[in-house]
Amino acid sequence: MGLLDFLTSGSPQDRFAREVMARIRARGWTGEIRHDPGSFSITLGADSISLLNGFLERGKMSRARRAEAVDELATLALMSAEPPPATLGEVADKLLPVIRTRVHVGDMWLVRPAWEEVSRRRCHAPISDSLCAWAAVELGLGLRGVGDEDLDRWGVGFDEVLAIAVDNLRARSSPAKFEKDPRGFYTTRYRDHYDVSRLLLPDLLQTLPLNGDPVILAPERDTLVVAGSEDSDALEAMGAQLESVLGTMKRLISMEALVHREGAWRRLGVTNASHALGRLAMLGADLNHEQQRRLMAHEFAEAGRDAYAAELTLLDAEEGATWSPIAFGKTALAPLADAYLLSSGEPGGALVRARSDFEAICGPFAREPDCWPERLIIDRAPSADQWAQLRAAAIPEGFEALQAQFTDGRKAR
């Protein structure tokens, strides 16, 4: 078999794994490389790395940039093969914090063994509803994330490691490097891959002459944008600026505006599509749910779990209203939408009902554990009496046109 045949045969996942392995060989690795299609991972030496996130990320990239996903995974694999640090002292001055969306944390242990769930809990800290902090060791090749094996080997807890990482970042952050836009917001100009991590230094942000509490957007690792909570023009301008450059960003982290109040980062809560921050928040929510849905589909297939993750659809951009289709027959992991399109499987049997009414009549339903964004476990169909109550319930305001599309057996166009 020639190299071209080797790289192009098999499933898309197999081809991706072979691309990564070929890149590792090209960078000088002469040892054994093992690919496990079942877990979609590769192993060098004693450690393995998952290929799932890189595979999903590449699917969203332009053709010209797809080699980046392969390069990054090759780097991670080569770092995983290096001997791990024996003591915290060996790497204390190389620890730095990284910020990631909670989708990467909450949904990767859905069907994993309990020990791996504990591992992931120990190795991150929630920063807001949507973001979390990890600790990583800065090496020549790149970053090596701190794992539970490291904590056990070093005899320390994650809070201590993260505190050291934040102190190291603080030492790198003086003097402050912010550029003021004429429209009133500020953008970090460190360009050291840790700009977004500086949201862990609210004291640094508070040195800026802001009108109100610090409000940030953390779209990617090299971009942190700040404005004052009472400066409406600057808030609109920073949102509009991010909208204009979204297409140039390599790996989005978050598009939700956060405000620092009472010692914590909280959602600013702008959802109206007439405001740039509201449009970004809705787009970010859609991307988070879709990434989560794809991760769940992969995990459920691997585990043989008879369940599916329902989609989230935006109905009204001005109001931020959302709905999700629920078909009964197997377990649905349903997003917390404003309304559900409930399908009985009979002609004309689709009902659009508010989630609150659905849960009041048929619930309560449990929530999928350790899952963000949150989802209900809808594991039973309504009884005949419950269907009668649902039919008698009102169509939620604003959803009348959606209901009309499914009346008398007609489908949405």
pLDDT in the model for residue 9: 52
Total Cβ atoms within 10 A of residue 38:
6
Mean pLDDT of the chain: 85
Q: In which element (H, E) is residue 394 found?
A: none
pLDDT in the model for residue 240: 94
pLDDT in the model for residue 228: 96
Does position 91 have pLDDT exceeding 90, yes or no? yes
pLDDT: which is higher, 142 or 306: 306
Residues 147 and 119 sit within 8 Å (Cβ to Cβ): yes
149-177 tens-digit pLDDT: 889 999 999 999 999 999 999 999 999 99
| Secondary structure (H, E, C), 121-150 | HHCCEECCCCEEEEEEEECCCCEEECCHHH
Q: Strands 223-228 and 313-316: what pairing?
A: unpaired
Question: Which stretch of 48-62, 199-213, 341-355, 360-374 has the lowest confidence by average pLDDT?
Answer: 48-62
Does position 81 have pLDDT exceeding 80, yes or no? no
pLDDT average, residue stretch 209-217: 96
pLDDT average, residue stretch 240-255: 85
Does position 111 have pLDDT exceeding 60, yes or no? no
Residue identified by tokens 């840790």 is 194
Can you list the positions of beta strands (E) in 77-130?
95-101, 125-126
Confidence label for 274 from pLDDT (cuts 50, 70 and 90): confident
State the burial class of residue 250 (Cβ atoms within 10 Å of its Cβ: 0-12, 13-18, 19+).
Answer: exposed
Does position 226 have pLDDT exceeding 90, yes or no? yes
Does position 381 have pLDDT exceeding 60, yes or no? yes
Rounded distance, CA 350 to CA 340, Å? Answer: 10
Does position 8 have pLDDT exceeding 50, yes or no? no
Question: Which stretch of 102-111, 125-134, 144-153, 367-376 has the lowest confidence by average pLDDT?
Answer: 102-111
Helices and strands (H, E) in the chain, number of each type: 15, 20
Return the percentage of the chain with pLDDT > 90, whole number: 49
pLDDT in the model for residue 110: 47
pLDDT: which is higher, 295 or 18: 18
Does position 43 have pLDDT exceeding 60, yes or no? yes
**DSSP codes joined into one string, 45-64:** TTEEEE-HHHHHHHHHS-GG
Return the percentage of the chain with pLDDT > 70, whole number: 90
pLDDT in the model for residue 122: 66
pLDDT in the model for residue 236: 95
Phi, psi angle pair for 53, to nearest 5°: -60, -45
DSSP state of 262: T
